Amino acid sequence: MTPAGAAHTLARVTNTLAATDPVTAAARIRGVLGDGPVLVLTGAGVSTDSGIPDYRGPGSPPRTPMTYQQFVGDPAFRRHYWARNHVGWRHVHRTRPNAGHLALARLEAAGVVSSVITQNVDTLHEAAGSRSVIDLHGRYDRVVCLECSAVLPRERLAERLAALNPGFAGMVDDVEIAPDADAALASTEGFRVADCARCGGVLKPDIVYFGENVPPARVRRGYRLVEEAAALLVAGSSLTVLSGRRFVRAAADAGLPIVILNRGATRGDALADLTVDAGCSEVLAALADSYAS
C-alpha cells in the first residue's frame, strides 16, 4: 500500500445517502468514483429487477442453500437438488438483463468500468454486453463432472433429465425460485438423477456451493483487477460472504475510493467512502447517463 493509500484508509469516513432520486445519487457516486477505471463488484441485488430473488435483501424469506458437503456426500441430497434445479433453472434461463446490467455494459464500453466481478451465477452481465466479467461463484448454465472434469451445457443435461423424468417439470407450478436456479419443492421422491455420460461420475452445477472454495486462479485475477483499478463500486451485495468482501477489503487497504450501492446495510459499509441505500437499476442507469453527457 502506498503512503497516499494509507492516508486515505486512515482518514476514511463513510457518508451515507438515503433513498433519493437516481440522478442525485448518480452525481454523488460519480463524485467519489471519478473517471475510472472503476472495478465493479455485483451481487444478487443487481438481478432482482430481472425477476431473480436475492438471498439477504430487505423482505427476502429465510433460505438455507445446500452445502457442498451435503451434495457430494449424500445421493438423496443430490436427487433433491437436481429435481428442484430441473424446475428452477428454466426460470433463470428465461430472464433478461435489466437496466442495471445494461448500464454497467455501457460504462465498460465508455471506458469508465474496467471489469465486473459478480457473485451472481445468472450470466446476465454477459447477456447485457459486459465483456470483462469474473463469474466468481460460477455459472448456472454449465455442469461439471467431479470425476473426469468434463463440462457440459446445462441445457444438454436438461434433455437427459427430461427423458429420465418425463413430465416432472410440467407437474410443478407456482414454485419459489432461488438465486442459484433452485426451486422449492415439497417432494422429490422418485426423481432420477443423470450421471456423467463419459465416465459415470457425479455431475455438479458449475457453481461454488456454500462450504466450497472459490477457485484460487479466479481469486488471484480478482485481486489483480483491484490493483489495476482507480476506484471500486459495489452494487447489490450485502457483502455477507468473504468471497466478495475480500475485494472490498483489498481496495480499502490500497486506499481506493469505494462506493456501495445496495438496499440496506452491508458488512462493508465501514470501508466505504459513500453508501447509497437504493435499488441498483435506476441509479446505475442514471450513472451511465451522467458519464455519457
Q: Is 260 annotated as a binding residue?
A: no
Q: What is the distance between the alpha carbons of residues 161 and 152, in angstroms, rounded to a whole number?
A: 14
Q: What is the average pLDDT value for the chain, to the nearest integer?
A: 87
Domain annotation for the chain: domains and CATH numbers = 3-54+97-138+213-292 (3.40.50.1220), 68-95+139-207 (3.30.1600)
Q: Is 179 annotated as a binding residue?
A: no
Average pLDDT over residues 266-291: 96
Check if the beta carbon of residue 210 is closer than 8 Å to that of residue 68: yes
Q: Which residue has the higher pLDDT, 14 or 175?
A: 14
* Residue 104 φ/ψ, nearest 5 degrees: -65, -35
Residues 34-68: tens digit of each pLDDT: 999 999 999 999 999 998 876 554 554 455 677 89
Grid coordinates belonging to 227: 490493483
pLDDT band with cut points at 50, 70 and 90 for residue 13: low
pLDDT at 123: 95
Q: Which residue has the higher pLDDT, 250 or 59?
A: 250
The question of whether 8 is a catalytic residue gets the answer: no
pLDDT band with cut points at 50, 70 and 90 for residue 196: very high
pLDDT band with cut points at 50, 70 and 90 for residue 12: low
pLDDT at 64: 64
Q: Which residue has the higher pLDDT, 5 or 226?
A: 226
Q: Is 22 annotated as a binding residue?
A: no
Question: How many residues appear in the chain?
Answer: 293
Q: Is 237 annotated as a binding residue?
A: yes
Least confident of 21-30, 91-100, 148-157, 245-254: 91-100
Check if the beta carbon of residue 209 is closer than 8 Å to that of residue 68: yes
Pairing outcome for strands 113-118 and 38-42: parallel
Least confident of 1-15, 76-90, 237-251, 268-282: 1-15
Average pLDDT over residues 253-277: 96
> In percent, how much of the chain has pLDDT > 70?
84
Residues 87-138: tens digit of each pLDDT: 878 777 789 999 999 999 999 999 999 999 999 999 999 999 999 999 999 9
> In percent, how much of the chain has pLDDT > 90?
71
Q: Is 122 annotated as a binding residue?
A: yes
**Residue 221 burial class via C-beta count within 10 angstroms: exposed 0-12, middle 13-18, buried 19 and up:** middle
pLDDT at 55: 57
Identify the active-site residue in 8, 80, 125, 137: 137
pLDDT at 143: 96
Grid coordinates belonging to 80: 433433491
Q: Which residue has the cell 465508455?
A: 110
pLDDT at 87: 80
The phi-psi region of residue 53 (left if phi > 0; otherwise alpha if psi is between -120 and 50; otherwise beta) is beta
pLDDT at 37: 97
Q: What is the distance between the alpha carbons of residues 277 and 19, in angstroms, rounded to a whole number?
A: 5
